[in-house]
């Protein structure tokens, strides 16, 4: 569904010490699979996500979505950020209806679809609430409903649960897998948290600093959800931690420039 073909991203191109964030990346993401991008700060995870989203363009190489070059954002690739980014002047229902109304649906259709997806994420009783009155976890549920209501083929998620407390984060991880089971979608998910990657992903791409950006590409056992207390979970977590321990610091100067972002 998504393919990166020899993609590089360099900031200040043309300078002898231009900033290489990604270099010669070739990756493919299969339809309806859940992939986590794992790595330390500064290794290019968010840059990679922004390239797929169409927010930025590669310096060289191609990003393809269903074999069509990506040159701009689109509703087929929904993005969920660390901050829920809800419109504070709109109710929960109006936040989810907004994108639907931009697509030309009638008021009644927008309301029905918004309610369907708010029900899916457990937020239907809160349709009249304002974002300021919601907890962080509740706001992220609304943000997920807003994206899913547009029926994207891909969800791009940039550390969406990292600002939450541990219990809320685990509950939303459970909910996300439940939602993906009901409404299959391709997910590319950024995290710094090894346990989160092991619990959620079918595939984990461990990223390090350019030029060796793709440090490891690991396909996890297919059975999900996984027990966080199981031996298999512990062993897989240890494997990924060992991979991370071999990485150099991503924020470092070299003849190629500063690796990061």
pLDDT in tens, 190-205: 999 999 999 999 999 9
% of residues, the chain, pLDDT over 70: 92
**Residues 6 or more apart whose Cβ sits within 8 Å of residue 183:** 120, 148
User: What is the distance between the alpha carbons of residues 230 and 196, in angstroms, rounded to a whole number?
Assistant: 14
Q: Which domains does the chain have, with CATH numbers?
A: 2-76+152-258 (3.40.50.300), 84-151 (no CATH)
Burial of 230 (0-12, 13-18, 19+ CB in 10 A): exposed
Residue 114 Rama label (left phi>0; alpha psi -120 to 50; beta): alpha
Phi, psi for 17 (deg, rounded to 5): -115, 45
Give the mean pLDDT of 144-168.
Answer: 92
Q: Note the pLDDT tens digit of each residue in 91-130.
A: 999 999 998 988 888 889 999 999 999 999 999 999 999 9
What tokens were used for 166? 């541990």
Element (H, E) at 204: strand 203-207
- In angstroms, what is the C-alpha Rg of the chain? 19
Mean pLDDT is lowest, of 31-40, 167-176, 215-224, for 215-224
Q: Tell me the pTM.
A: 0.88
Other Cβ atoms less than 10 A from the Cβ of 241: the count is 12
Whether the CB-CB separation of 195 and 237 falls below 8 Å is answered with: yes
């Amino acid at each position: 569904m998504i393919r990166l073909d020899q993609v590089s991203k360099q900031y200040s191109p043309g300078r002898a010490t231009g900033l290489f964030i990604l270099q010669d990346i070739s990756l493919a993401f299969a339809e309806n699979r859940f992939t986590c991008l794992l790595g330390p700060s500064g290794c290019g995870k968010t840059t990679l996500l922004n390239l797929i989203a169409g927010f930025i363009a590669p310096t060289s190489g191609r990003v393809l979505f269903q074999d069509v070059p990506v040159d701009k954002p689109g509703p087929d690739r929904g993005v969920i950020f660390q901050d829920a980014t809800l419109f504070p002047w709109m109710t929960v229902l109006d936040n989810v209806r907004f994108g639907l109304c931009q697509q030309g649906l009638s008021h009644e259709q927008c309301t029905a679809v918004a309610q369907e997806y708010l029900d899916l994420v457990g937020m239907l009783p809160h349709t009249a609430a304002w974002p300021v009155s919601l907890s962080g976890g509740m706001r992220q549920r609304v943000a997920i409903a807003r994206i899913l209501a547009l029926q994207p083929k891909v969800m791009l998620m940039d550390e969406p649960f990292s600002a939450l407390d541990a219990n809320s984060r685990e509950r939303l991880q459970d909910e996300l897998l439940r939602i993906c089971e009901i409404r299959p979608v391709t997910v590319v998910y950024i995290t710094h948290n090894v346990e989160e990657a092991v619990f959620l992903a079918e595939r984990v791409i461990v990223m390090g600093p350019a030029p060796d950006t793709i440090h490891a590409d690991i396909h996890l056992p297919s059975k999900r959800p996984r027990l966080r207390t199981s031996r298999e979970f512990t062993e897989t977590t240890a494997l990924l931690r060992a991979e991370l321990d071999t990485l150099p610091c991503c924020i470092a100067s070299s003849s190629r420039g500063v690796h990061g972002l």
